[in-house]
Chains A and B, each alone.
Chain A
Amino acid sequence: MNVRLTVNGRTHRIEVEPRTSLADALRDRLGLTGTTLGCEHGVCGSCTVLVDGTAIRSCLALAVQVEGADIRTVEGLADGDGLHPLQEAFAAEHALQCGFCTPGFLMLLAGALAEEPELDRDERRLDAVLASNLCRCTGYAGIRRAAARAAKSMRADGG
């Protein structure tokens, strides 16, 4: 099937099978390998991307389903050489070690903070969001600190 995918503001026309997941379309057809695939059945969250502003598992959506939607991946976070506040905060707070889960966490938080800019002020809410994704090396303390740091910085920027 021929589908039109709009990813990070650019529209691509690609040929996919109906069974092709959004994650596979991003990685294999568009070369956007920042989105990583861990479990491929919705448990680990490493493939999290934004679809129309909302964080979803791209392994649990078909590419044909998101035709016409605004898709955002980790490649679209930075503004040229300028890192996104979330990326800055992850580096500053040592919120990554091997980095495999990081794109998923960045997109999860990008979606959550856009919806709820003061998410960091409610620790239980923040933890419930962070529990969506698995990190198996750094642990969550650094990620939690990075989320709070990014939220503050985004508020300061009027973001």
Chain B
Amino acid sequence: MGDMKPAQFDYVAPASVPEAVAVLAEHGPESRVLAGGQSLLIELRYRTTRPALVVDVNRIPGLSQVTVENGSVHVGALVRHAQLERARFDDPLAELFRQVAPYVGHPPIRARGTFAGSLAWAHPASEWCALAMALDAGIEVNGPAGPRTVPAGSWFRGAFVTACLPEELVTGVLLPRPPAGAVAAFAEHRRTHSGFALAAALVMLRLAEGRVAWVRIGLANAADVPLRAVGAERLMTGERPEQELFAEAGALAAAEADPPVAPHAPAAYLKHALSTLVRRCLARAVHHAGTP
């Protein structure tokens, strides 16, 4: 593959969001935003991206916190994967973050890479993108037209394509808080320890009076964008949490998927994996929830 050094670019490290927005307003299409850099640096090295300007946002204060608000959890644009791996805030989401984070890269990657950066990157196999999709995250961006919040459902437009304009900066992610008592489960299948997800599923659910009162199911690498298995959620809501139902929901979730086929992984195999992972997550979540 030859040279692994990036092509030349100019570099600027704005000290505030307005400063960064001003830079992007002027240089948008020929610039790239550098946050954790654990994907951008690779792209620069392969020269699959050749920006004239790299806008390093790491010096901007105030973007590194996870804030639990009344109805939502706010993740700043510079919150690293490692912070979420250690999440201890008082919300069922913390448990989901702790379960998913160990699957994102390795510890040195997680020390730098960011949650919001993953959503901006929009890799089809991204676990965080599946989480954002399943939980109706709002992606906050700021640009020449001012700040706006884009729902996850209209954020992901395709593999590595989002609704973010070249002039816009992702400043944070807003996650609606799941209902109190919700439990989380995550499961992933990959070929090797260091590979990306071949298939991954995450579940959050709440039981009430022996029935599924609320459930969310997210899928990674199930299409060119992250999926929320709405049909499977509908199937389960109001029902008794039993093995047959988990299997049925898994099959339904897989039927909704259109996974990217690889030579070693035909569609039928990937769908089978998705179905199994969803079933396992549901069983595990219900087990965690205990007998209500």
Contact = CB atoms under 8 A, between A and B. Distances in A.
A, B from the same assembly: yes
Contacts of A141: none
Contact of B108 (A18, A39, A41, A56): A56
A142 interface: no
Interface in B107-140: 107-109, 111-112
Contacts of B5: 19, 24
B214 interface: no
Contact of B44 (A19, A48, A55, A131): A19
A19 B42 contact: no
B260 interface: no
B4 to A, nearest CB: 4
A153 interface: no
B112 A56 contact: yes
Contacts of B13: 64-65
A43 B38 CA distance: 10
B11 interface: yes
B41 A60 contact: yes
Interface string A36-68: 000111110100100000111101111011000
Contacts of B11: 1, 18, 62, 64
A55 to B, nearest CB: 5
Nearest to B38: A60
A42 B193 contact: no
B147 to A, nearest CB: 26
Contacts of A123: none
B62 interface: no
A112 B107 contact: yes
B107 A19 contact: no
Contacts of B194: 43, 131
Interface residues of A, number: 31
B107 A42 contact: no
A33 interface: no
A40 B108 contact: no
B146 to A, nearest CB: 29
With most chain B CB atoms within 10 A of its CB, the pick from A42, A43, A108 is A42
A73 interface: no
A57 B107 contact: no
Contacts of A55: 107-108, 111
Interface of B: 4-11, 13, 34, 37-38, 41-42, 44-46, 54, 56, 58, 102, 106-109, 111-112, 193-194
Given A60-B42, A60-B109, A112-B107, 14 more contacts: A18-B9, A19-B44, A41-B42, A41-B45, A43-B194, A56-B112, A57-B109, A60-B41, A61-B37, A61-B41, A65-B13, A65-B34, A128-B106, A132-B107
Interface of A: 1, 17-19, 21, 24, 39-43, 45, 48, 54-57, 59-62, 64-65, 108, 111-112, 128-129, 131-133
6 contacts: A41-B46, A55-B108, A59-B45, A60-B38, A64-B11, A65-B34
Closest 10 CB pairs of A and B: A18-B11, A132-B106, A40-B4, A19-B6, A60-B41, A41-B42, A54-B111, A55-B108, A56-B108, A131-B193
